[in-house]
Structure 1
Amino acid sequence: MELFDQSLLHKYEHNQCTPEEYERVLEWFTTPEGREYLETAMTQELDSEKPDMLMSTSQAADLYQRILDTTGQEQLRHRRNRRFTGLKVAAMLSGSILLVYGGWRMFGSHRATVFQTAYGEVRTVVLPDQSVVTLNGNSTLRYAGKWDGNSNREVWVEGEAFFSIKPSAVPRSFMVHTASEMDVEVLGTSFNLVDRHGRMQVVLNSGKVKLHNSRTPEDAIIMQPGDLVEYKEQVRTKVRKNTNAQSYSSWKTNNLHFENASFAELAQLLEDTYGVTVEIRDAALLQQRFTGTVPGQQIDMLLGGLSQLFHLKVSHVDNSVIIEKETK
């Protein structure tokens, strides 16, 4: 039997999967290897039979049928139908198979609502708790489909987003998970977050947030308004105090503000946000840094602003952008 990702199965068993990971596990359960894994787990549980954990036969049968319906285990059901009767069904469902049911139930409650922006698109999303997220171009926001009044609020972000978090009437945290495996924990605040290419940056506008990951909780950092913190591959590389926080989210108002930025950073931003390929033909430009604000609603408007502000020759043909020094 082919071994599935054991760390992912461990996360599944302890209800720690993201919505995408839950879906991946449940899809694996429909493969021959997944069915064999389930059958082995069920057989082991049948042999152990723990009477103190039994549920009623009717409850057990109902739960098992829902598992079959969800994971498509019809072949498994027919093969083992004669054995899943009476107390043996209840015993089996009391243990290992409840892991499957728990995953089925958690997957249902974690089924993700997904918003994805196109290149150059800015979109505003209102979350179930009335918090507001503004997505920059080429960015994705996911959150569990059901938020009740007592559970913590969790979202997953890839790309760039600005968060305006509504304080909760009852104590419950708001957690932003990133592809870089860094988490942003907030209660009521607003901040800009970028997470691309293993680089994660948070600029705090108001309130207070805590940055951490599960592997090194001792390295958590508490941010105050005006702070900028940047990580690369989960290692903190930059901390700034008293920044102009609003300039980092100027893209929300169709402007792009650059502060001591390099042209290499500019090229990466254009590729990530607008989906173009950028070539900087003058190597000397890569060493230069600049500060300024240009309109960013449309890429041609942005490129025209860059050309005028920094005296550049900028060519945009099809999906390619060429930047070079303007010749006199």
Structure 2
Amino acid sequence: METGNSGHIENTVNLERFDEGNEDDFVGQMPEESQQALKDRMLTGISSRIREIEKRKSKRRTYFRIAASVALILAFASSFWILAKPDEVSFQTASNETMEVNLPDGSKVILNSNSKLSYAKSEIWGFDRKVTLAGEGYFEIAKDKKEKRFTINEGTLMEVEVLGTEFNFKNQHPVHKVTLIEGSVALGYQGKSGSAKHSMVPGEMVRLDPGKHELHSKIITNPERLLAWKDRKLKLKNESLEEVLAIVKEVYDLRLESESLDQKDQLVSGSIPLTDSADEVIENIAILFNTKLDVEENLIRVL
């Protein structure tokens, strides 16, 4: 019995060893062609898996590149919009106040009282040499290297275009007038037949009648005298009442009942303060010349 049992156990062990050997050497027992086919299928599977993994990585990299590019474009667009957006710069004077304004292009403006000057400027485009004036201002326009025109009140009742010049512009409804000191000025305005142009010459004063759409022009002998408001006083040197009133009426846009006065023999030297009140100025002139003057509805009468 014991001998039989030992033989049975021994046979079982040998069978198990035989089975294990067969299992481990299964590929080795396959025909060479089958082995090569199996290797090829395995390599193909591995390669396919690698390509799939690389494709996923490539998609992720592409996505991140696109996302980064979009973020960069948005950041650039946002920065460009902020820098390109123009900011409005404005200057305002109060009653009996003048102000000197230096513009980005080197031009200079002296604002009369109760006047406002404004313009747009951006970090990218800079100053486009276009301003808006409400009130009165004396302009000294710097010449531009590229000959870009300087424009005031573009597209309004009276538009002024210049290259480099000195002039006085009053845009205070119903008064629209330009006095050219030197250089050249091109005026654009609404005439009876539509848009019209007028080229000014030095010493010329032009006034627009917006109701009749007419432009009135005349030559002034000493146009600089009409800029007395810049110093807030009118300096006199042996001048007659007629000469003084001729200046004052243009400064304050008044009318004279008579352009020819009798008091031509009386000459006066000195200075007259120029305030915002035309009545006050006329009263001082009357005292200075020892005469009687009256202002009613912008009309000066010698009594």
Same-fold call, TM > 0.5? yes
Specify whether residues 197 and 214 from structure 1 end up closer, same or farther in structure 2 by C-alpha distance, changes over 3 A only. closer
SS of structure 2 residue aligned to 1:220? strand
Give 2:117's aligned residue: 141
Task: For 2:221 and 2:180, locate their aligned partners in 1 and report how far apart those are by CA, in whole Å.
Answer: 9
Task: For 2:172 and 2:195, locate their aligned partners in 1 and report how far apart those are by CA, in whole Å.
Answer: 24
From 168, 183, 204, the equivalent of 1:192 is 168
How far residue 236 of structure 1 moved from its aligned partner, in angstroms, is 2.9
Give 2:97's aligned residue: 121
SS of structure 2 residue aligned to 1:249? helix
How far residue 130 of structure 1 moved from its aligned partner, in angstroms, is 1.8
Task: For 1:250 and 1:151, locate their aligned partners in 2 and report how far apart those are by CA, in whole Å.
Answer: 30
From 126, 131, 141, the equivalent of 2:107 is 131
From 263, 287, 303, the equivalent of 1:308 is 287
- Normalised to the residue count of structure 2, the TM-score between the two structures is 0.55
How far residue 229 of structure 1 moved from its aligned partner, in angstroms, is 1.0
Task: For 1:308 and 1:288, locate their aligned partners in 2 and report how far apart those are by CA, in whole Å.
Answer: 20
Give 1:71's aligned residue: none
SS of structure 1 residue aligned to 2:246? strand
Specify whether residues 188 and 161 from structure 1 end up closer, same or farther in structure 2 by C-alpha distance, changes over 3 A only. same
Task: For 1:147 and 1:236, locate their aligned partners in 2 and report how far apart those are by CA, in whole Å.
Answer: 41
How far residue 233 of structure 1 moved from its aligned partner, in angstroms, is 1.7
Q: Which amino acid letter does the alignment assign opposite residue 292 of structure 2?
A: L
Task: For 1:185 and 1:61, locate their aligned partners in 2 and report how far apart those are by CA, in whole Å.
Answer: 39
Task: For 1:230 and 1:324, locate their aligned partners in 2 and report how far apart those are by CA, in whole Å.
Answer: 19
Q: Which amino acid letter does the alignment assign opposite residue 193 of structure 1?
A: F
Task: For 1:261 and 1:180, locate their aligned partners in 2 and report how far apart those are by CA, in whole Å.
Answer: 27
| Paired residues of 1:180 and 1:199 also in contact (CA < 8 A) | no
Q: Report percent identity of matched pairs.
A: 27
Gaps of 5+ in 2: 1-68, 235-243, 262-267
- Normalised to the residue count of structure 1, the TM-score between the two structures is 0.51
Specify whether residues 105 and 220 from structure 1 end up closer, same or farther in structure 2 by C-alpha distance, changes over 3 A only. farther
- Within 5 Å, give how 1:74-89 maps onto structure 2: none
SS of structure 2 residue aligned to 1:210? strand
Specify whether residues 262 and 222 from structure 1 end up closer, same or farther in structure 2 by C-alpha distance, changes over 3 A only. closer
| Paired residues of 1:229 and 1:236 also in contact (CA < 8 A) | no
Give 1:254's aligned residue: 232
| Paired residues of 1:158 and 1:179 also in contact (CA < 8 A) | no
Specify whether residues 150 and 122 from structure 1 end up closer, same or farther in structure 2 by C-alpha distance, changes over 3 A only. closer
Who wins on radius of gyration, i.e. which is larger?
2
Gaps of 5+ in 1: 1-55, 68-100, 270-284, 315-322
| Paired residues of 1:262 and 1:287 also in contact (CA < 8 A) | no
How far residue 203 of structure 1 moved from its aligned partner, in angstroms, is 0.6
From 240, 253, 265, the equivalent of 2:218 is 240
1:256-280 residue CA offsets vs partner (Å, 9 max, x unmatched): 56427769x95x77xxxxxxxxxxx
- Within 5 Å, give how 1:1-328 maps onto structure 2: 58=71, 108-109=85-86, 111-146=87-122, 152-177=128-153, 180-213=156-189, 219-233=196-210, 235-256=213-234, 258-259=245-246, 266=252, 287-289=257-259, 294-296=272-274, 302=281, 305-309=284-288, 311-312=291-292
Task: For 1:182 and 1:158, locate their aligned partners in 2 and report how far apart those are by CA, in whole Å.
Answer: 12
Specify whether residues 184 and 308 from structure 1 end up closer, same or farther in structure 2 by C-alpha distance, changes over 3 A only. same
Task: For 2:260 and 2:202, locate their aligned partners in 1 and report how far apart those are by CA, in whole Å.
Answer: 25
Structure 1 outlier segments of 4+, above 6 Å? 147-151, 214-217, 290-293, 323-327
Number of aligned pairs? Answer: 211
- Tell me: higher relative CO, structure 1 or 2? Use CA pairs within 8 A at least 6 residues apart: 1
RMSD: 4.3
1:274-305 residue CA offsets vs partner (Å, 9 max, x unmatched): xxxxxxxxxxx973558997331686973552
Task: For 1:147 and 1:248, locate their aligned partners in 2 and report how far apart those are by CA, in whole Å.
Answer: 38
